[in-house]
Protein backbone atom coordinates (compact mmCIF):
# COMPACT_ATOMS: atom_id res chain seq x y z
CA UNK A 1 0.00 0.00 0.00
CA UNK A 2 1.44 3.39 -0.99
CA UNK A 3 0.57 6.10 1.51
CA UNK A 4 -0.58 9.31 -0.14
CA UNK A 5 -1.94 10.58 3.15
CA UNK A 6 -0.15 13.52 4.82
CA UNK A 7 1.80 11.23 7.14
CA UNK A 8 2.74 8.68 8.19
CA UNK A 9 4.62 8.17 4.95
CA UNK A 10 6.18 5.37 2.97
CA UNK A 11 9.54 4.42 4.43
CA UNK A 12 12.31 3.27 2.08
CA UNK A 13 13.13 -0.43 2.19
CA UNK A 14 16.78 0.16 3.13
CA UNK A 15 15.62 2.17 6.14
CA UNK A 16 13.17 -0.49 7.27
CA UNK A 17 15.96 -3.04 6.99
CA UNK A 18 18.29 -0.80 8.96
CA UNK A 19 15.75 -0.67 11.78
CA UNK A 20 15.97 -4.41 12.24
CA UNK A 21 19.63 -4.24 13.26
CA UNK A 22 20.45 -5.73 16.69
CA UNK A 23 19.85 -3.33 19.56
CA UNK A 24 22.53 -1.54 21.54
CA UNK A 25 22.34 -0.33 25.15
CA UNK A 26 20.95 3.09 25.96
CA UNK A 27 23.84 3.84 28.36
CA UNK A 28 26.66 3.12 25.96
CA UNK A 29 29.20 5.22 24.08
CA UNK A 30 27.69 4.03 20.81
CA UNK A 31 24.30 5.57 21.60
CA UNK A 32 25.98 8.85 22.63
CA UNK A 33 27.86 8.84 19.31
CA UNK A 34 24.60 8.27 17.45
CA UNK A 35 22.99 11.20 19.28
CA UNK A 36 25.99 13.42 18.48
CA UNK A 37 25.71 12.61 14.77
CA UNK A 38 21.93 13.10 14.83
CA UNK A 39 22.38 16.52 16.42
CA UNK A 40 25.13 17.48 13.96
CA UNK A 41 22.99 16.68 10.92
CA UNK A 42 19.79 18.14 12.35
CA UNK A 43 21.69 21.36 13.04
CA UNK A 44 22.75 21.44 9.38
CA UNK A 45 19.18 21.00 8.17
CA UNK A 46 17.84 23.51 10.72
CA UNK A 47 20.74 25.92 10.07
CA UNK A 48 21.30 26.42 13.78
CA UNK A 49 23.92 26.00 16.48
CA UNK A 50 21.25 25.35 19.11
CA UNK A 51 21.16 22.01 20.91
CA UNK A 52 18.70 19.55 19.37
CA UNK A 53 17.10 16.93 21.61
CA UNK A 54 14.86 13.94 20.98
CA UNK A 55 11.86 12.64 22.85
CA UNK A 56 10.47 9.15 22.44
CA UNK A 57 6.87 9.86 21.57
CA UNK A 58 4.89 11.21 18.62
CA UNK A 59 4.93 14.87 17.63
CA UNK A 60 2.34 15.79 20.24
CA UNK A 61 4.80 14.84 22.98
CA UNK A 62 7.09 17.68 21.84
CA UNK A 63 4.14 20.09 21.72
CA UNK A 64 3.26 19.14 25.29
CA UNK A 65 6.85 19.03 26.51
CA UNK A 66 7.66 22.52 25.22
CA UNK A 67 4.46 24.08 26.54
CA UNK A 68 4.59 22.58 30.02
CA UNK A 69 8.31 23.32 30.36
CA UNK A 70 8.37 26.93 29.19
CA UNK A 71 5.25 28.90 30.11
CA UNK A 72 5.79 31.09 33.15
CA UNK A 73 3.18 33.75 32.61
CA UNK A 74 0.77 33.19 29.74
CA UNK A 75 0.79 31.57 26.30
CA UNK A 76 -0.87 32.71 23.08
CA UNK A 77 -1.78 29.95 20.64
CA UNK A 78 -2.06 31.18 17.05
CA UNK A 79 -4.18 28.57 15.33
CA UNK A 80 -5.30 28.00 11.75
CA UNK A 81 -6.69 24.50 12.17
CA UNK A 82 -6.87 21.24 14.08
CA UNK A 83 -3.21 21.05 15.07
CA UNK A 84 -3.02 24.65 16.18
CA UNK A 85 -6.09 23.98 18.30
CA UNK A 86 -4.26 21.04 19.84
CA UNK A 87 -1.74 23.43 21.45
CA UNK A 88 -4.68 25.12 23.16
CA UNK A 89 -6.05 21.80 24.43
CA UNK A 90 -2.63 20.86 25.79
CA UNK A 91 -2.26 24.21 27.56
CA UNK A 92 -5.70 23.71 29.10
CA UNK A 93 -4.84 20.18 30.21
CA UNK A 94 -1.89 21.65 32.13
CA UNK A 95 -4.06 24.45 33.55
CA UNK A 96 -1.84 27.04 31.87
CA UNK A 97 -3.05 30.57 31.36
CA UNK A 98 -3.75 30.55 27.61
CA UNK A 99 -5.42 32.59 24.88
CA UNK A 100 -6.30 31.09 21.51
CA UNK A 101 -6.25 33.33 18.46
CA UNK A 102 -8.07 31.33 15.79
CA UNK A 103 -8.00 32.50 12.18
CA UNK A 104 -10.38 29.84 10.85
CA UNK A 105 -9.90 26.66 8.81
CA UNK A 106 -8.29 27.56 5.47
CA UNK A 107 -6.79 30.85 6.62
CA UNK A 108 -3.25 31.79 7.54
CA UNK A 109 -2.00 33.85 10.49
CA UNK A 110 -2.77 37.48 9.74
CA UNK A 111 0.40 39.51 10.54
CA UNK A 112 -1.56 42.57 11.69
CA UNK A 113 -3.52 40.63 14.33
CA UNK A 114 -0.38 38.70 15.26
CA UNK A 115 1.45 41.95 15.94
CA UNK A 116 -1.42 43.40 17.97
CA UNK A 117 -1.46 40.35 20.22
CA UNK A 118 2.29 40.44 20.79
CA UNK A 119 2.13 44.15 21.48
CA UNK A 120 -0.26 43.49 24.37
CA UNK A 121 2.70 42.30 26.46
CA UNK A 122 0.55 39.58 28.00
CA UNK A 123 2.55 36.60 26.78
CA UNK A 124 5.89 34.98 27.49
CA UNK A 125 5.36 32.09 25.03
CA UNK A 126 3.58 31.86 21.68
CA UNK A 127 2.89 28.88 19.45
CA UNK A 128 2.74 28.94 15.67
CA UNK A 129 1.90 26.01 13.41
CA UNK A 130 4.12 26.27 10.36
CA UNK A 131 2.29 23.76 8.19
CA UNK A 132 -1.31 23.08 9.20
CA UNK A 133 -1.81 19.54 7.94
CA UNK A 134 -5.58 19.61 8.43
CA UNK A 135 -6.00 22.35 5.81
CA UNK A 136 -2.79 22.34 3.75
CA UNK A 137 -1.93 25.92 4.69
CA UNK A 138 1.64 27.04 5.30
CA UNK A 139 2.12 30.15 7.39
CA UNK A 140 4.61 32.74 6.19
CA UNK A 141 7.28 32.53 8.88
CA UNK A 142 9.55 35.09 7.22
CA UNK A 143 6.94 37.80 7.67
CA UNK A 144 5.86 36.63 11.14
CA UNK A 145 9.47 36.39 12.32
CA UNK A 146 10.05 40.07 11.55
CA UNK A 147 7.30 40.74 14.08
CA UNK A 148 8.25 38.27 16.79
CA UNK A 149 11.88 39.41 16.71
CA UNK A 150 10.67 42.74 18.10
CA UNK A 151 9.58 40.91 21.27
CA UNK A 152 12.70 39.11 22.51
CA UNK A 153 11.15 38.19 25.87
CA UNK A 154 8.53 36.05 24.15
CA UNK A 155 9.58 32.48 23.37
CA UNK A 156 8.45 31.25 19.97
CA UNK A 157 7.48 27.59 19.59
CA UNK A 158 7.02 26.50 15.98
CA UNK A 159 5.34 23.23 15.06
CA UNK A 160 6.99 22.00 11.85
CA UNK A 161 5.79 18.43 12.26
CA UNK A 162 4.56 18.04 8.69
CA UNK A 163 7.04 20.36 6.97
CA UNK A 164 10.46 19.80 8.50
CA UNK A 165 12.67 17.96 6.04
CA UNK A 166 10.61 19.18 3.09
CA UNK A 167 10.90 22.94 3.51
CA UNK A 168 13.74 25.26 4.48
CA UNK A 169 13.34 26.41 8.09
CA UNK A 170 16.51 28.30 9.07
CA UNK A 171 16.07 28.37 12.83
CA UNK A 172 18.72 30.99 13.66
CA UNK A 173 17.74 33.41 10.88
CA UNK A 174 14.08 33.14 11.81
CA UNK A 175 14.78 33.40 15.54
CA UNK A 176 12.80 30.29 16.46
CA UNK A 177 13.19 29.27 20.11
CA UNK A 178 11.77 25.76 19.79
CA UNK A 179 11.45 24.16 16.39
CA UNK A 180 9.60 20.94 16.97
CA UNK A 181 8.97 18.11 14.58
CA UNK A 182 8.53 14.33 14.38
CA UNK A 183 9.93 11.46 12.38
CA UNK A 184 6.90 10.22 10.46
CA UNK A 185 6.31 13.05 7.97
CA UNK A 186 8.79 14.78 5.67
CA UNK A 187 11.75 13.06 7.31
CA UNK A 188 10.48 9.76 5.90
CA UNK A 189 10.67 7.52 8.96
CA UNK A 190 8.18 5.58 11.09
CA UNK A 191 6.48 7.47 13.95
CA UNK A 192 7.93 7.40 17.46
CA UNK A 193 10.46 10.18 17.93
CA UNK A 194 9.85 13.89 18.38
CA UNK A 195 12.62 16.44 17.82
CA UNK A 196 13.17 19.88 19.41
CA UNK A 197 15.79 22.59 18.91
CA UNK A 198 16.34 24.75 22.00
CA UNK A 199 17.54 28.35 21.89
CA UNK A 200 19.71 30.03 24.57
CA UNK A 201 16.57 31.77 25.85
CA UNK A 202 14.85 28.41 26.19
CA UNK A 203 17.75 26.99 28.21
CA UNK A 204 17.51 29.93 30.57
CA UNK A 205 13.72 29.65 30.90
CA UNK A 206 13.99 25.94 31.70
CA UNK A 207 15.68 26.89 34.97
CA UNK A 208 12.88 29.27 35.91
CA UNK A 209 9.75 27.21 35.36
CA UNK A 210 8.35 24.79 37.95
CA UNK A 211 8.29 21.16 36.84
CA UNK A 212 4.83 20.21 35.56
CA UNK A 213 5.65 16.80 34.11
CA UNK A 214 8.21 14.08 34.76
CA UNK A 215 8.51 12.28 31.40
CA UNK A 216 8.03 15.44 29.33
CA UNK A 217 10.27 17.70 31.39
CA UNK A 218 12.47 19.48 28.90
CA UNK A 219 14.80 20.49 31.72
CA UNK A 220 15.32 16.83 32.59
CA UNK A 221 15.75 15.85 28.94
CA UNK A 222 18.23 18.63 28.21
CA UNK A 223 20.23 17.99 31.39
CA UNK A 224 20.98 14.40 30.38
CA UNK A 225 21.69 15.37 26.78
CA UNK A 226 24.19 17.97 28.00
CA UNK A 227 25.80 15.52 30.41
CA UNK A 228 26.57 12.73 27.97
CA UNK A 229 24.31 12.86 24.89
CA UNK A 230 21.89 10.37 26.42
CA UNK A 231 18.29 10.50 27.66
CA UNK A 232 16.69 10.16 31.10
CA UNK A 233 14.55 7.20 29.96
CA UNK A 234 15.11 4.45 27.41
CA UNK A 235 14.78 5.99 23.95
CA UNK A 236 13.45 4.27 20.85
CA UNK A 237 16.86 2.92 19.93
CA UNK A 238 15.92 1.28 16.62
CA UNK A 239 14.31 4.48 15.43
CA UNK A 240 17.26 6.55 16.62
CA UNK A 241 19.53 4.35 14.50
CA UNK A 242 17.23 4.83 11.52
CA UNK A 243 17.12 8.59 12.11
CA UNK A 244 20.91 8.68 12.14
CA UNK A 245 20.99 6.74 8.85
CA UNK A 246 18.29 8.87 7.21
CA UNK A 247 19.86 12.19 8.24
CA UNK A 248 23.13 11.05 6.69
CA UNK A 249 21.17 10.21 3.52
CA UNK A 250 19.50 13.65 3.51
CA UNK A 251 22.64 15.65 4.21
CA UNK A 252 25.26 13.67 2.31
CA UNK A 253 23.44 11.69 -0.38
CA UNK A 254 20.34 13.55 -1.53
CA UNK A 255 21.54 16.97 -0.34
CA UNK A 256 19.44 19.32 1.79
CA UNK A 257 18.69 21.85 -0.95
CA UNK A 258 17.90 19.10 -3.46
CA UNK A 259 15.41 17.65 -1.00
CA UNK A 260 13.66 20.98 -0.57
CA UNK A 261 13.66 21.47 -4.36
CA UNK A 262 12.13 18.03 -4.93
CA UNK A 263 9.36 18.85 -2.47
CA UNK A 264 8.71 22.08 -4.34
CA UNK A 265 8.47 20.22 -7.65
CA UNK A 266 6.00 17.71 -6.17
CA UNK A 267 3.88 20.50 -4.67
CA UNK A 268 3.85 22.49 -7.93
CA UNK A 269 2.86 19.45 -9.95
CA UNK A 270 0.00 18.63 -7.57
CA UNK A 271 -1.21 22.23 -7.50
CA UNK A 272 -1.23 22.60 -11.29
CA UNK A 273 -3.21 19.39 -11.60
CA UNK A 274 -5.62 20.50 -8.87
CA UNK A 275 -6.20 23.86 -10.56
CA UNK A 276 -6.84 22.18 -13.91
CA UNK A 277 -9.45 19.74 -12.63
CA UNK A 278 -10.68 21.14 -9.30
CA UNK A 279 -9.79 24.13 -7.15
CA UNK A 280 -7.12 24.70 -4.53
CA UNK A 281 -8.45 25.05 -0.99
CA UNK A 282 -5.58 27.36 -0.03
CA UNK A 283 -4.84 30.81 -1.33
CA UNK A 284 -1.91 29.79 -3.52
CA UNK A 285 0.62 31.97 -1.72
CA UNK A 286 -0.06 29.96 1.45
CA UNK A 287 -0.37 26.52 -0.14
CA UNK A 288 1.71 23.90 1.66
CA UNK A 289 4.83 22.39 0.12
CA UNK A 290 4.14 18.96 1.62
CA UNK A 291 0.36 18.45 1.44
CA UNK A 292 -2.19 19.84 -1.01
CA UNK A 293 -5.85 20.24 -0.08
CA UNK A 294 -8.18 20.19 -3.08
CA UNK A 295 -11.79 21.34 -3.15
CA UNK A 296 -14.05 18.55 -4.41
CA UNK A 297 -15.67 20.73 -7.08
CA UNK A 298 -16.76 17.66 -9.09
CA UNK A 299 -18.77 16.42 -6.12
CA UNK A 300 -17.06 13.06 -6.37
CA UNK A 301 -18.07 10.28 -4.04
CA UNK A 302 -14.84 10.35 -2.04
CA UNK A 303 -15.65 7.16 -0.11
CA UNK A 304 -15.99 5.32 -3.41
CA UNK A 305 -12.83 6.91 -4.75
CA UNK A 306 -10.99 5.86 -1.61
CA UNK A 307 -12.17 2.23 -1.96
CA UNK A 308 -11.20 2.14 -5.65
CA UNK A 309 -7.76 3.51 -4.92
CA UNK A 310 -7.27 1.05 -2.08
CA UNK A 311 -7.87 -1.80 -4.53
CA UNK A 312 -5.04 -0.37 -6.65
CA UNK A 313 -2.74 -0.18 -3.65
CA UNK A 314 -3.05 3.46 -2.65
CA UNK A 315 -4.15 5.02 0.64
CA UNK A 316 -6.24 8.12 -0.07
CA UNK A 317 -6.81 11.07 2.28
CA UNK A 318 -10.21 12.72 2.64
CA UNK A 319 -10.43 16.29 3.90
CA UNK A 320 -10.10 16.82 7.63
CA UNK A 321 -13.04 16.85 10.05
CA UNK A 322 -15.92 19.02 8.79
CA UNK A 323 -14.24 19.23 5.36
CA UNK A 324 -14.14 15.44 4.99
CA UNK A 325 -16.20 15.19 1.80
CA UNK A 326 -15.86 18.74 0.54
CA UNK A 327 -12.09 18.47 0.12
CA UNK A 328 -9.43 15.82 -0.23
CA UNK A 329 -5.70 15.90 0.43
CA UNK A 330 -2.65 14.59 -1.33
CA UNK A 331 0.47 14.12 0.76
CA UNK A 332 3.68 14.71 -1.22
CA UNK A 333 6.48 14.52 1.26
CA UNK A 334 9.49 12.54 2.48
CA UNK A 335 11.12 10.32 -0.16
CA UNK A 336 8.21 10.42 -2.61
CA UNK A 337 9.27 10.62 -6.28
CA UNK A 338 7.55 12.65 -8.99
CA UNK A 339 7.10 9.42 -10.95
CA UNK A 340 5.10 7.84 -8.11
CA UNK A 341 3.04 10.99 -7.62
CA UNK A 342 2.17 11.09 -11.33
CA UNK A 343 1.11 7.44 -11.19
CA UNK A 344 -1.15 8.11 -8.21
CA UNK A 345 -2.74 11.13 -9.86
CA UNK A 346 -3.38 9.08 -13.03
CA UNK A 347 -5.10 6.48 -10.86
CA UNK A 348 -7.33 9.17 -9.32
CA UNK A 349 -8.30 10.30 -12.82
CA UNK A 350 -9.13 6.72 -13.81
CA UNK A 351 -11.24 6.24 -10.71
CA UNK A 352 -13.69 9.12 -11.03
Ligand X SMILES: Cc1ncc(COP(=O)(O)O)c(C=O)c1O
295 φ, ψ to 5°?
A: -75, 130
* Contact pick of 83, 88, 164, 320 for ligand X (by CB under 6 A): 83
Q: What is the DSSP secondary structure assignment for residue 227, as one 8-state letter?
A: H
Residue 7 binds ligand X (CB under 6 A): yes
Q: With binding defined as CB under 6 A, does residue 79 bind ligand X?
A: no
With beta carbons less than 8 A apart as the criterion, state whether 329 and 282 touch.
no
H or E segment and range at residue 46? helix 29-46
Q: From the CB of 131, what's the least distance to ligand X, in Å?
A: 6
Q: How far is the CB of 275 from ligand X (least distance, A)?
A: 24
Q: Which of 107, 135, 139, 162 binds ligand X (CB under 6 A)?
A: 162
Query: Per rule CB under 6 A, is residue 39 in the interface with ligand X?
Result: no
The least CB distance from residue 159 to ligand X, in Å, is 5
| 183 sits near ligand X (criterion: CB under 6 A) | no
Nearer to ligand X, 184 or 199 (CB): 184
> Which among 27-35, 44-52, 54-62, 204-212 is the span making contact with ligand X, rule CB under 6 A?
54-62
Is the CB of 320 or the CB of 344 nearer to ligand X? 320
- Give me the DSSP letters along 236-295: -HHHHHHHHHHHHIIIIII-HHHHHHHHHHHHHHHHHHHHHHSEESS-GGGB-SSEEEEE
- The span from the first CA to the last CA of the chain, in angstroms, equals 20
Between residues 83 and 103, which has the closer beta carbon with respect to ligand X?
83
Residue 58 binding ligand X, by CB under 6 A = yes
- For ligand X, the nearest residue by Cβ is 59
**If you write DSSP's letter for every residue of 76-143 in order, what string do you get?**
EEEESSHHHHHHHHHHHHTT--EEEEE--TT----HHHHHHHHHT---SEEEEESEETTTTEE--HHH
The binding site for ligand X (CB under 6 A) comprises 7, 58-60, 83, 129, 131, 133, 159, 161-162, 182, 191
Amino acid sequence: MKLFIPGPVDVRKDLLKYMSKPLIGHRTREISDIQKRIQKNLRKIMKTNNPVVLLTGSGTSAMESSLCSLVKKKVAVFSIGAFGNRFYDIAKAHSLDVDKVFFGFGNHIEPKIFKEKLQSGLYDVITVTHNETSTGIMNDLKTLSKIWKQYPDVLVIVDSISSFGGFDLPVDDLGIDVLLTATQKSLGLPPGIAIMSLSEKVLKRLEEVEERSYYLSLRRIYKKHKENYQYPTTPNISLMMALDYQLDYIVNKEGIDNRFKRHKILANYTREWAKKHFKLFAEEKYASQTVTTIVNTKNLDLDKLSVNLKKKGYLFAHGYGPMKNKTFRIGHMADRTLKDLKKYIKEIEKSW
